[in-house]
Amino acid sequence: MRIDIVTIFPEYLDPLRGALLGRAIERGLLSLDVHDLRRWTYDVHKGVDDSPYGGGPGMVMKPQVWGEALDEVCAGEPPRLVVPTPAGRPFTQAMAHEYAGESRLVFACGRYEGIDQRVIDDASTRMRVDEVSIGDYVLVGGEVAVMVMVEAVARLLPGVLGNPLSAEQDSFSDGLLEGPSYTRPEVWRDRAVPDVLRSGNHKAIDRWRRDQAIERTFERRPDLLAALPAESLDKHDRAL
Ligand SMILES: CN1CCC[C@H](Cn2ccc3ccc(-c4n[nH]c(N)c4C#N)cc32)C1
């Protein structure tokens, strides 16, 4: 997978080259190129923003600069263009899996009050464009959102995670939150690990873990439980 990111703060994305993702890049499992939007500016001040038509607070990012940048970065095999915005569709684990199946992703990091809408409209005539939000809160720009999405997608690529089972047992992968985890010591500050986890009875352990996941999902994310297909909860699950 080839990932390109366009931003006015390229150094913001440096942490993506560390640890797990850094090793995946070194192993050729994905390529990551970060581009400074100011490369496509055309005035002495390297301006990327201007006042909003219709008035209002803040500044809007200029369509000319973004248009030139995306023409060049998106050249070749048409990528999927992902534009983070608080007004976007919610980014979900299902979308992460969808993106992991793409051969090219380009992420456009806005700042200020966002990117002139015509940039998205123009790009949509040549490639698939998603305006996506990572949550119901307002950030200062798109870079943090892109780091979240790149990590969520990259970890799903074959070979990136040491143990592929980890991704299969993710929260949300079966529509439920994952339950609690424990490791040594057996007792810590007078709190013991649940007996079933030390029983060696793997059928009982699997049942206990599913019960914990359902109870936690019911308590914290009843919306996820309501969205589950009826057939995915058995009689025992419903009796909880
Ligand atoms: C007051 N204004 C309101 C509009 C957005 C302005 C800041 N900004 C500029 C570009 C940009 C990109 C993403 C996000 C963002 N915020 N929250 C999320 N879940 C996001 C995501 N994905 C925020 C952004 C601030």
Can you tell me which atom of ligand 1 is nearest the CA of 142? 12
What is the residue whose two structure tokens read 């790149």?
150
pLDDT at residue 167, as a whole number: 63
Neighbours of 42 (CB within 10 A): 10
Q: Residue 170: how many CA atoms within 13 Å on its side-chain side? A: 16
Ligand 1 near 53 CB (within 6 A):
no
Nearest Cα to Cα of residue 21 among 204, 118, 152, 154: 154
Ligand 1 pocket, mutate which of 49, 85, 130 (most atoms under 8 A from CB): 85
Beta-strand runs (E) in the chain: 2-7, 31-36, 49-50, 60-61, 80-90, 104-108, 128-133, 187-188, 191-192
Tens digit of each residue's pLDDT (9 = 90 or more) over 90-142 = 999 999 999 999 999 999 999 999 999 999 999 999 999 999 999 999 999 99
Asked if 211 is an active-site residue, the reply is no
Query: Any idea which of 67-81, 126-140, 144-158, 225-239 has the lowest mean pLDDT?
Result: 225-239
Q: Which residues pair with 34 in a beta bridge?
A: 5
Token pair of 33 as six digits: 């190129």
Inter-CA distances, 196 with 31, 192, 204, 205, 210, Å:
44, 11, 7, 6, 13
pTM: 0.94
151 contacts: CB under 8 Å, gap ≥ 6: 16, 21
pLDDT of residue 235: 87
- ipTM of this complex: 0.98
Q: How far apart are CA 77 and CA 59, in angstroms?
A: 32
- The string of pLDDT tens digits covering residues 49-65 is 999 999 999 999 999 99
C-alpha span between 130 and 120 (Å, rounded): 9
Q: How many Cβ atoms from other residues are within 10 Å of residue 37's Cβ?
A: 26
56 lines ligand 1 (CB under 6 A): no
**Per-residue confidence at 151, pLDDT binned at 50, 70, 90?**
very high
Pick from 15-29, 94-108, 179-193: least confident = 15-29
Mean pLDDT of 158-183: 81
Of 2, 78, 86, 178, the active-site residue reads 86
Active site residue 113: yes
